Chain A
């Protein structure tokens, strides 16, 4: 089963995403901040990470940067979760190697579609 890690400090967002992904057949793990995300990935690398940018403590972009600079985690696909009008962050995210982004408020269905698309793109590449 494909495993996805959801990282967001808002538990409601995590709930919604987790439910929808599990409904679609993914195995889902959660983390509520940057530290947690780093730990989870170090423990067992997921097949994809859904990463919120705006989090207290370490921001999502910092976490992404760390992953991209480490050989072991550089290849994990990352989809960013951003709030509206966070243009600069999205640009920066792509510079750092994110694969896609989803704007909040989001449509859970569309999110699953994006996740599937990113995964299949990676597989065929």
Chain B
């Protein structure tokens, strides 16, 4: 019995230490990132977006939008994309076997006619392409219909095969871009076309924002429980991971990032891989892997200005699926690229970033669950002092809340997109509420995701066809006008 007791106590202390180290590391990165944010604000005055809009050097972009059963969103979203401010770009919508009226609505709205199109086969795709359509008025839209294989990665790769421009940007239909978004993210490519091969930008949560004609007019933090927590999470995650890592030139995009890639690099690594779920995280890891193997100089840029808004799940089950999926993606990506771990050949990515993701992002879910189990059992059996439990609460949860609050404050001081006191207060509340229940439940889902990865289950489209209608109250929508429902 005493061996078990010692083990439980030992693990309890280990978990406290683990979280102290983890949170301190995050704090260090946030400080780095905050510094970067301040500097980049100073730099903003040096080059205007209007100049870029008229710069003949702005490379044309193909925006690829994979969709499956999004009849409510698709027209508004496509309209929003077509009216982005950028000198030359196209929108490629890939209808991945929708069974609802997604295509019909597109056809009606844009006057689509079927055309002949030769697709490239540079990227491996599985689902057969059925037809390609373009609008009668000649605007820069392409709609590709294909047979669904249940994999969004396949749809994106098909879209890239159909795209004609040297830069690729993948967007989901439920993501809203600011009208200057392409300009913002094109800046690094314009300035340094030789070295920059990919660029990402900050995403924030669209729920609760005022949205009109596919644009976020006024950003607002949504109320409730799940939503403001996710809003705070996104603020923290992007400040942390992106801005921080980019300081040491080793960016890894997270799942659901907004990113623009150079098409030739995208094709070089084979696009989104079909047997892993395929996500920006895996893609950037592949890029680091491949380019360092080839000894090519390159740079992945990050543009900290928030210009992209995504709809996050407000329902428990969908959130659970999403978090499990992200964990699965991370586990798979690390597994596929495990030769990079602790390998000096891969520079900071191999020595610092990937191990960090493994030890602190992936494994933390497991540690958290086990720690909870250990503390509960330990307390009940009287093995562990209540003071130690409180210490864990302070070191793990309190410290975590503190980190989030620091991120929120940095956002306040730099980009200041959330204007009102209410928004700020909601984010602070969310930072605390996150640690009281949310992260524990998330940890459980993340562990399930890791198990899925180990069992090689295929991650799919987040929603099965037919479930869309249960998303929430649908407010009246006229030609893309909507306020994202907040339950």
| Chain A positions near chain B (C-beta within 8 angstroms) | 54, 56, 83-86
Do residues B54 and A86 form an inter-chain contact, with CB atoms below 8 A? yes
With A84-B54, A85-B54, A86-B54 known, 9 other A-B pairs at CB within 8 A are A54-B50, A54-B53, A54-B54, A56-B179, A83-B50, A83-B51, A83-B54, A85-B55, A85-B56
Chain A residue at minimum C-beta to C-beta distance from B179 = A56
Tell me the chain B residues, 54-99 only, with Cβ under 8 Å from chain A: 54-56
Provide the residues of chain A in CB contact with B51, threshold 8 Å.
83
Provide the residues of chain A in CB contact with B54, threshold 8 Å.
54, 83-86
Chain B residue at minimum C-beta to C-beta distance from A57 = B179
A32 to chain B minimum Cβ distance, whole angstroms, is 15
A106 to chain B minimum Cβ distance, whole angstroms, is 15
A33 to chain B minimum Cβ distance, whole angstroms, is 13
Ordered by A's residue number, 12 sampled pairs between the chains whose C-beta atoms are within 8 Å are A54-B50, A54-B53, A54-B54, A56-B179, A83-B50, A83-B51, A83-B54, A84-B54, A85-B54, A85-B55, A85-B56, A86-B54
Tell me the chain B residues, 38-55 only, with Cβ under 8 Å from chain A: 50-51, 53-55
B317 to chain A minimum Cβ distance, whole angstroms, is 39
- A81 CA / B51 CA spacing, docked (Å): 14
- Dominant SS among interface residues on chain A: loop
Provide the residues of chain B in CB contact with A86, threshold 8 Å.
54
- A84 CA / B56 CA spacing, docked (Å): 11
Q: Which 3 A-B pairs have the closest CB atoms?
A: A86-B54, A85-B54, A83-B54
Provide the residues of chain B in CB contact with A85, threshold 8 Å.
54-56
Contact with A along B315-350 (1 / 0, CB 8 A): 000000000000000000000000000000000000
- A56 CA / B179 CA spacing, docked (Å): 9
Chain A residue at minimum C-beta to C-beta distance from B48 = A83
Provide the residues of chain A in CB contact with B50, threshold 8 Å.
54, 83
Provide the residues of chain A in CB contact with B53, threshold 8 Å.
54
- A83 CA / B87 CA spacing, docked (Å): 14
A55 to chain B minimum Cβ distance, whole angstroms, is 10
Chain A residue at minimum C-beta to C-beta distance from B51 = A83
Chain B residue at minimum C-beta to C-beta distance from A86 = B54
B86 to chain A minimum Cβ distance, whole angstroms, is 13
- A83 CA / B53 CA spacing, docked (Å): 10
- A56 CA / B54 CA spacing, docked (Å): 14
- A56 CA / B50 CA spacing, docked (Å): 10
Provide the residues of chain A in CB contact with B56, threshold 8 Å.
85
Provide the residues of chain B in CB contact with A84, threshold 8 Å.
54
- A86 CA / B53 CA spacing, docked (Å): 9
Provide the residues of chain A in CB contact with B179, threshold 8 Å.
56
Provide the residues of chain B in CB contact with A83, threshold 8 Å.
50-51, 54
- A86 CA / B52 CA spacing, docked (Å): 11
- A86 CA / B50 CA spacing, docked (Å): 11
- A54 CA / B85 CA spacing, docked (Å): 10
Contact with A along B413-452 (1 / 0, CB 8 A): 0000000000000000000000000000000000000000
Provide the residues of chain B in CB contact with A54, threshold 8 Å.
50, 53-54
A90 to chain B minimum Cβ distance, whole angstroms, is 11
Interface centre among B50, B53, B55, B56 (most CB of A within 10 A): B50
Interface centre among B50, B51, B54, B56 (most CB of A within 10 A): B54
- A53 CA / B50 CA spacing, docked (Å): 11
Contact with A along B156-179 (1 / 0, CB 8 A): 000000000000000000000001
- A85 CA / B51 CA spacing, docked (Å): 10
Chain A residue at minimum C-beta to C-beta distance from B180 = A56
- A60 CA / B411 CA spacing, docked (Å): 33
B56 to chain A minimum Cβ distance, whole angstroms, is 7
Contact with A along B103-116 (1 / 0, CB 8 A): 00000000000000
- A56 CA / B53 CA spacing, docked (Å): 12
Chain A residue at minimum C-beta to C-beta distance from B50 = A54
A35 to chain B minimum Cβ distance, whole angstroms, is 13
- A56 CA / B49 CA spacing, docked (Å): 11
- A104 CA / B56 CA spacing, docked (Å): 17
A87 to chain B minimum Cβ distance, whole angstroms, is 9
- A52 CA / B51 CA spacing, docked (Å): 14
- A85 CA / B58 CA spacing, docked (Å): 13
- A84 CA / B55 CA spacing, docked (Å): 9
